[in-house]
Structure 1
């Protein structure tokens, strides 16, 4: 089956520009015998995604049909999206979402960036995907990713490929040496994601407090006593979930606007994505919403994603410190205790540095943000500017010492 490409010469790099436009069902065979098809039609791509999702147990949330479809509903209008599907023989073994947009690196200079998974949104509107993954039959993962990279290596017109928020345990195939990619640089940023091991706690004594550090235990006991009586309301119905979600938005926005920041829900796309995700996945238990109240008043609302029995601390809203001391710490502690009793495996605080993550997340894992760059004038100039700035920093102190 023939592939079709529409390309023109890039005046800066001399490369051909324009992503290879393959006809629906066009194919590319890799050395590992996995055939990659590029699907442009969204309905067809989602149909294949659902078909494969039904055959795989423990589908990652970020690769679930519901997550993908919800994201496309909100963001497909601003990001060009293709579906990369992998076949071994006639069997569908993998699906991958590929986004594309132009990114300005320097004034007057833009590059074409590709994104693996639900990423590439405008700043301030992103769903900030973590534990990002492709949908693939597990023993085919490495070969499928290798086939994707080989396909992209044969595709002209892009300058940077970003694979965001991949767990370190499954990131290695994305860093494989593929000569066809013709890379100038490979960057891997590893970030710590702290979590609490609920299963181990449950096997020992089931008491979260006993597993925490001495100062954290003391602080929690004092705060909980000040806020008694405390109650956690775990949403059991979709109606309850949506009610908690709306209160969470109010608390979240009030907290951020008070310090001059827009808050996550200032983005209509982000807000609509979350509401739609709750409607699509609450009945399947893929999202959890909880409200924590002190003396009848709400001090915190939590919105967590359930990724294969691992709760991810996604978005939250807390009352002000003037109304309650350490509302975030207390809310997470009570939610962790409830999650432990309900049989969840872990409570993950995701990346980012906050005091409660250090206090409550007694274990850590790593997520990686991978970028593969091809040659482009914008990257060369950026590197030169960075090097010049570093040299200037060294030169100025030396001049002061000489004077």
Structure 2
């Protein structure tokens, strides 16, 4: 299919022998986050082996866009079936718990809008056997542009703010990270540092080998489970597919600096550990595990993040990204830089319209009654 000057072609991942080389070449001409890099998506293909379609966008003979689309069926409310397309996700709940953020199509720098429009037009006009195109987590403004480009109904499934720390801007001021925080947050961190120092020197420790990196990741598990729980949609450490994905990612990416594991020590005691993705000098905080302290003056998470941020600032990294989530500590430690959403672009199907009417009625009832609906 041709969209303006751009041509969109589709092929199976299994038939795309040059996908890795093409993706890396385009990546070098694009401005992606880690989640649209081969570092993440190549690993996703390797570990989960989804039955994905490759959308290739070309301008003449030049490749300017790529995307991976998976076709699945979703059952909701026990009876309704919806045929779904998903971008860079499998449609299987346990496999998608790795939760891609900053999603979208990979596009040559400056062609992001035209590539997305070309892909969306292709999906709407050349692939007709679907009801919904589910994209997440994606920038909220980009999601709006996707809806405008297709003219489809946009159903908002999930949303969250993103906070982060601009390390380049911090370096330009010549100030330390703590100086950029509110008086109360700074006080809590300094007090925690002082109290932990009584147990021994407070320091950051990184693994010296892949085996040590994997061991550090494994030690995060029990703390993460304690904090978030072992049920559905809670800690990924309760999901073997989640653990397998990240252990293999560490095994392949830690030697090249694609992931960073950091332990925060107070003497011989590990009080916090962090697992971060690293790409193009940007640090993406992915998850962490903190000890639970009886003394609420001890804040291992706040202290640990502040020490890591200062360390990354010192070593020339550009940005420390807390990514999506409205947890209070993210707002205290960083500044809002965008909103993420997961959306469903829905074709005009009667079943989807009926579902939307029921959803609106339910939400109106909840609002008017002051009830609490957990769905």
Could you state the TM-score of these two structures normalised by the residue count of structure 2? 0.87
Counterpart residue number, 2:188: 219
Quote the offset at 1:395 in angstroms: 7.8
Counterpart residue number, 1:299: 271
1:316–1:90 CA distance, 2 compared to 1 (3 A): same
Is 1:292–1:299's contact at 8 Å kept on the other side of the alignment?
yes
1:299-334 Cα distance to aligned partner (Å, 9 max, x none)? 111011123322111111111123882221111111
Quote the offset at 1:215 in angstroms: 0.4
1:190-211 Cα distance to aligned partner (Å, 9 max, x none)? 5310111211112222411111
CA distance in 2, matches of 1:323, 1:93: 55
CA distance in 1, matches of 2:204, 2:114: 46
1:370–1:243 CA distance, 2 compared to 1 (3 A): same
Is 1:125–1:264's contact at 8 Å kept on the other side of the alignment?
no
Quote the offset at 1:172 in angstroms: 5.6
CA distance in 1, matches of 2:363, 2:341: 26
Could you state the TM-score of these two structures normalised by the residue count of structure 1? 0.81
4+ long deviations beyond 6 Å: 258-261, 394-397
Look at both structures and tell me which one has the larger radius of gyration over its CA atoms: 1
1:387–1:369 CA distance, 2 compared to 1 (3 A): closer
1:176–1:392 CA distance, 2 compared to 1 (3 A): closer
Is 1:119–1:128's contact at 8 Å kept on the other side of the alignment?
no
- Equivalent residue of 1:384, what SS? helix
Q: 2:62 aligns with which of 88, 91, 103?
A: 91
1:81-128 Cα distance to aligned partner (Å, 9 max, x none)? 111111122222221010121111222211011111235331585111
Q: Over aligned residue pairs, what C-alpha RMSD do you find?
A: 2.7
Counterpart residue number, 1:5: none
Counterpart residue number, 1:20: none
Is 1:71–1:118's contact at 8 Å kept on the other side of the alignment?
no
User: Residues 189-200 of structure 1: matches in 2 within 5 Å?
Assistant: 191-200=160-169
Is 1:304–1:315's contact at 8 Å kept on the other side of the alignment?
yes
1:46–1:214 CA distance, 2 compared to 1 (3 A): farther
Unaligned runs of 5+ in 2: 371-375
CA distance in 1, matches of 2:194, 2:338: 33
Number of residue pairs matched by the alignment: 362
Counterpart residue number, 2:373: none
CA distance in 2, matches of 1:149, 1:350: 26
CA distance in 2, matches of 1:261, 1:105: 17
Is 2:27–2:37's contact at 8 Å kept on the other side of the alignment?
no
CA distance in 2, matches of 1:116, 1:137: 18
1:217-275 Cα distance to aligned partner (Å, 9 max, x none)? 11111111110121101345434422321222233234444899862111111111111
Q: 2:74 aligns with which of 103, 108, 112?
A: 103
